Amino acid sequence: MPRYLYWVPVVFYMGVIFYFSSKTGGQVALPTPDYVAHGTEYFGLSWLVRWAWSGSRAGRPEQGCRVAILFCFIYGISDEFHQSFVPGRTPDAVDLLADTAGAALAQAVWYGWRRV
């Protein structure tokens, strides 16, 4: 499979996050606390970034963990900035922390899963 195809799910998933971030405050009804939703969605993004990094052989495999967490942190910043333009939504440092924690948790699970 061509290397760039590993990144297609990452881009698609980022689009889904962007779509939900574009919803106004009243349009977003979550069955869980906000921080759980943020952590969960960035867990998924981090997992996909790591998978794409590993599959596309973009660099050394051991760099994948740091790349995935940093990628999610930067995308989380852009997501919070984007929300500052959406009516009823505001940027929140706690959301960014939850995003990054979810990304880091995904890498811990990946590491544990790969060691089994």
46-93 residue pLDDT tens: 999 999 998 877 667 678 899 999 999 999 999 999 999 998 888 999
Count of structural domains, the chain: 1
Please report whether residue 42 resides in a domain. yes
Residue 116 pLDDT > 60: no
Please report whether residue 29 resides in a domain. no
Query: Among residues 104, 79, 75, which one has the least CA distance to residue 90?
Result: 79
2-28 residue pLDDT tens: 888 999 999 999 999 999 899 886 666
What is the domain range of residue 61?
3-22+34-115
Please report whether residue 43 resides in a domain. yes
Please report whether residue 59 resides in a domain. yes
* Rounded Cα–Cα distance for residues 47 and 110 (Å): 8
Please report whether residue 27 resides in a domain. no
pLDDT of residue 26: 65
